[in-house]
Chains A and B, each alone.
Chain A
Amino acid sequence: MESAEQLRDRLIAAFPEARVEVLTNPAPVAQHSLILDPAHAAQIATYLRDAPDLAFDYASNVTGVDRPDREIKEKITIKETVDGEEKEVAKEVTRTEPGYLEAVYHLYSMAKRHGPVILRLRTENRTDRVTLPSLTPVWRSCEFQEREIYDLFGIVFEGHPDLRRLLMWDDFEGHPMRKDYVEPDDYEWEPTPHDAFLIKAKRPGTGEEAAPAAS
């Protein structure tokens, strides 16, 4: 099978206006993945499925990933004029890398017996622009997994035939697998609290009173 770089070049040749990047995996497994831009994802997916020598007819797994905003501290050297003298000053600069939500598709070919090819689609941010194109029309097996991602991460899949919550009930609020999900504070007494629950157990009013904390 073609390597991720060869596949990227081939996809760019087939879809000149699409943006395809390779994300290398430094681990020994070296499963590199392709980052697609959402606008062309459905076309590229159809191409991967229908090209006779690729024939990725099976999407085995769809996963959600939450990347919160990250603060990155960098040391840079700037030339500054101090007391009329030009000096190189080392400065620490913090910049914020915006977060995003990601859907990861693992594709295999049953016909050609090769794979996996990993596709990643990223949303623009984590709050309001969380729409991605659904690949369920291309691979039917994505249906429930995209519903699960919608349920737990809050990615809205455009073009999904039946986008509802899968694991939680319909009236549930929030997306529990997001890093910033605040679970209801329904801590109650337990015999051997540890870690975060030890802190909760030591709180005044928790555990000492018989009444359970209202959620």
Chain B
Amino acid sequence: MTEADEKTIQDLRRSGILLTTLEDLYNWGRSNSVWPLQFGLACCAIEMIAASMSRFDIARFGSEVFRPSPRQADLMIVSGTVTKKMAPQVVRLYNQMPEPKYVIAMGACAISGGPFKQGYNVLKGIDRYIPVDVHIPGCPPRPEALLHGLMELQEKIREQNLTGENRPRHLRSDVSGEFPVPEFGTCDLEPPSNPAVWTPPEPIREGL
């Protein structure tokens, strides 16, 4: 849309005529009714619950409808430590969600394993197995941080195109929204990460 068009649209809106595109309307509706999956893993879940209560009121963003079934959810808030025993179930829940689906990794543990990273029983970040849209740092993040993460996700949804090369996964037939569920090994999950989703970061070894 050119600048002149934008000006015309604003002029028309002032005189009571709404002009928009299907893409904008579709994404506007989608981004304002992101229903999260109702599940919590650790202490971050308490902050998530606080965010959904009247003091912080996630309903202002249209996300107050926590669904108890993955079949009805659009957003998975991974709120807390993902243990190796729990990780296959988290991936399975993600696989059971219908497209379009989004993931927020909330808190240090969901991002990287956090303080338990080098332990024997904690997954070093859920982004090893499923694609994460928004990472929220913090231990735990404040409800405001979760709301900010949600707003970032809404921004991301509004910028998605319905057509073209960059269209999201749910509008493409060549990409699957299911990810392999890891299995229990003798001391770790097999495989320890999904290379299609996650590759180890490039090391920086200065000043060591």
Contact = CB atoms under 8 A, between A and B. Distances in A.
B85 to A, nearest CB: 5
B199 interface: yes
A208 B203 contact: yes
A89 interface: no
Contacts, number: 58
B188 A184 contact: yes
B120 A188 contact: no
B120 A211 contact: no
B186 interface: yes
B208 A201 contact: yes
A210 B200 contact: yes
Which one of B85, B119, B120 has the greatest number of beta carbons of chain A within 10 Å? B120
Interface string B129-148: 00000000000000000000
Measured as residues with beta carbon below 8 angstroms from the partner, the interface class of chain A is 20 to 34
A14 B84 CA distance: 48
B202 A210 contact: yes
A172 B117 contact: no
B61 interface: no
User: For chain A, what secondary structure do more than half of its interface residues adopt (helix, strand, loop), or is it mixed?
Assistant: loop
Interface of A: 167-174, 176, 181, 183-184, 186-191, 197-198, 201-202, 207-208, 210-212, 215
Interface in B187-208: 187-188, 192-193, 199-205, 208
Given A168-B85, A171-B185, A212-B192, A189 B200 contact: yes
A202 B202 contact: no
Given A190-B117, A202-B208, A210 B188 contact: no
Contacts of B186: 171-173
Contacts of A191: 204
B121 interface: yes
B166 interface: no
- Of A172, A197, A198, A207, most buried by chain B (CB within 10 Å of CB) is A172
